[in-house]
């Protein structure tokens, strides 16, 4: 056994001297058995290395040389830079401990020349994620979120956790998953919106939450999930401009963190990433309507843009930009009307080209106005009593946003399908694994 030695990551073998002993742990990516010598390509989460097995050096040579791909090994061996290995470095095995044997054939080859369908990949996600190009995505996403968290913490935000099982719809009604909750009918929350706002009334001043959001919409696109990760903030004594500033700086900080921690991953994936300049451009909804009309589309003021429209707008503004001052008709009840033009609102979307990443606004903080807005949207204020109550006893003006973490990850890595940046995606039909 080699347990007393520290495990060396394959990536760190470069720093190990010629002839020094190391202990490696990983999976058999490939095994080539010749007449009286065998080669194992061992993989851990940092890379691969060739291990040479010789019958006279390894006591269980016969057993090891017959192992299936993806079996798990612990190997003690000597670093050898003078062998014929093409990589210039290999391990001469001294001891091999078989930790687990993989069944064969694999449902999905890790290193096969044939590509698997996306569906097959997702059905066998644990194997799919053994490919570096896939698991690297989640390391990048982790850094991205860490960078955003760091910025928000630096701005005195408090990370909070609000319930996902709720009694009432957040923004309407039709698109919620029903959940049996003992004798009550409840729903999975589509957004932490109402709870974030209640926390503004609690005096917490600035909060953010990273958590799941559920949408029971039957969409079937490469950029929608029925469960996604929402990064939400809400801040008191602030308007939409303050919130936009938080957003662009949080995104910038996230990207900086990715560049700091994942430069090798970006290089491996062949992606170029640059820190975006802040502030991001702000374009009003009205100006966007002008762009759309100039391209020859008929457009009625007050409508939302469709994919084709956003594509045209995106062409004008490569990179991140805000679309601001949306008409009230296309924004939720809690959106603050623009004091100069009540048809418009103090709202914004963060876009990257044609893709929407974030939706935000200054919120209504006056309870009477809020009730009026509920009724204008065809909602019954009494269904939201627990929420409106928090506005009646001193609700500060506030603003915030909700950002789709997977969407942002897709954008910075230029990945076309949101399922690729989700470990176990939930879409219209997929609930397993």
Partner RNA sequence: GCCCUGGUAGUGUAGCGGCCUAUCAUACGAGCCUGUCGAGCUCGUGACUCGGGUUCAAAUCCCGGCCAGGGCGCCA
| Positions marked active-site | 215, 217, 223-224, 356, 359, 407
Exactly one of 118, 126, 237, 301 binds RNA (CB under 7 A); which one? 118
Among positions 42-71, residues that touch RNA (CB under 7 A) are 50, 52, 54, 68-69
Stretch that binds RNA, among 8-16, 82-90, 148-156, 362-370 (CB under 7 A): 82-90
Question: CA 312 to CA 50: how far, in whole Å?
Answer: 51
Length in residues, the chain: 433
**Window contacting RNA (CB under 7 A); options: 80-88, 159-167, 271-279, 284-292:** 80-88
Instruction: Map the footprint of RNA across residues 12-41, applying CB under 7 A.
Output: 30, 32-37, 39, 41
Q: Which residue, 33 or 372, has its beta carbon nearer to RNA?
A: 33
Which residue in the block uniquely carries the two structure tokens 């594509």? 311
Site map (CB under 7 A) of RNA, residues 321-340, x = contact: ---------x----------
Of 4-12, 291-299, 382-390, 410-418, which segment contacts RNA by CB under 7 A? 410-418
> Which of 63, 385 has the CB closer to RNA?
63
Residue in 403, 305, 314 with CA at minimum distance from that of residue 352: 314
Q: Which stretch binds RNA (CB under 7 A): 12-20, 152-160, 194-202, 398-406?
A: 398-406
Of the pair 50, 345, the CB lying nearest RNA is at: 50
The mark string for 339-368 relative to RNA (x by CB under 7 A, - otherwise) is: ----------xx-----xxxx---------
Closest separation between CB of residue 105 and RNA, Å? 4
Contact between 133 and RNA per CB under 7 A? no
Q: By CB under 7 A, is residue 223 in contact with RNA?
A: yes
**Both tokens of residue 200?**
């503004």
């Amino acid at each position: 056994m080699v347990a007393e030695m520290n495990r060396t990551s394959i990536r760190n073998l470069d720093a190990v001297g010629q002839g020094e002993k190391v202990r490696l742990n990983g999976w058999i990516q490939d095994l080539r058995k010749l007449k009286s010598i065998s080669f194992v390509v061992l993989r851990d989460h940092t890379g691969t290395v060739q291990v040479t097995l010789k019958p006279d050096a390894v006591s269980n040579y016969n057993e090891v040389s017959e192992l299936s791909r993806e079996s798990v090994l612990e190997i003690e061996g000597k670093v050898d830079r003078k062998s014929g290995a093409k990589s210039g470095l290999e391990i001469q095995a001294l001891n091999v401990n078989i930790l687990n044997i993989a069944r064969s054939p694999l449902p999905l080859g890790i290193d096969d020349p044939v590509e698997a369908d996306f569906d097959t990949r997702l059905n066998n996600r644990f194997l799919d994620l053994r490919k570096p190009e896939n698991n690297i995505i989640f390391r990048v996403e982790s850094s991205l979120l860490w960078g955003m968290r760091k910025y928000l913490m630096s701005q005195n935000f408090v990370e909070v956790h609000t319930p996902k099982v709720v009694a009432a719809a957040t923004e309407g009604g039709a698109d919620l998953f029903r959940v049996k909750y003992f004798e009550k009918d409840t729903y999975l929350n589509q957004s932490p919106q109402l709870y974030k706002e209640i926390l503004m009334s609690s005096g917490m001043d600035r909060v953010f939450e990273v958590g799941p959001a559920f949408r029971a919409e039957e969409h079937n696109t490469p950029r929608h999930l029925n469960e996604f990760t929402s990064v939400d903030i809400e801040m008191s004594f602030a308007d939409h401009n303050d919130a936009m500033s938080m957003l662009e700086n949080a995104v910038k900080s996230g990207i900086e963190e990715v560049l700091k921690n994942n430069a090798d991953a970006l290089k491996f994936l062949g992606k170029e990433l640059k820190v975006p300049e802040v502030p991001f451009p702000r374009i009003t909804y009205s100006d966007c309507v002008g762009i759309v009309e100039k391209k020859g589309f008929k457009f009625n003021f007050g409508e939302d843009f469709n994919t084709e429209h956003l594509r045209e707008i995106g062409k004008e503004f490569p990179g991140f930009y805000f679309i601001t001052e949306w008409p009230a008709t296309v924004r939720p009840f809690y959106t603050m009307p623009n004091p100069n033009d009540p048809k418009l609102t103090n709202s914004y979307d963060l876009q990257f080209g044609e893709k929407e990443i974030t939706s935000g606004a200054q919120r209504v903080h006056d309870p009477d106005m809020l009730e009026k807005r509920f009724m204008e949207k065809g909602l019954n204020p009494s269904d939201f009593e627990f929420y409106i109550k928090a506005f009646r006893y001193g609700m500060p003006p506030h603003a915030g946003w909700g950002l789709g973490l997977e969407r942002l990850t897709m954008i910075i890595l230029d990945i076309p399908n949101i399922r690729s940046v989700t470990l176990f995606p939930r879409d219209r039909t997929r609930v397993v694994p």
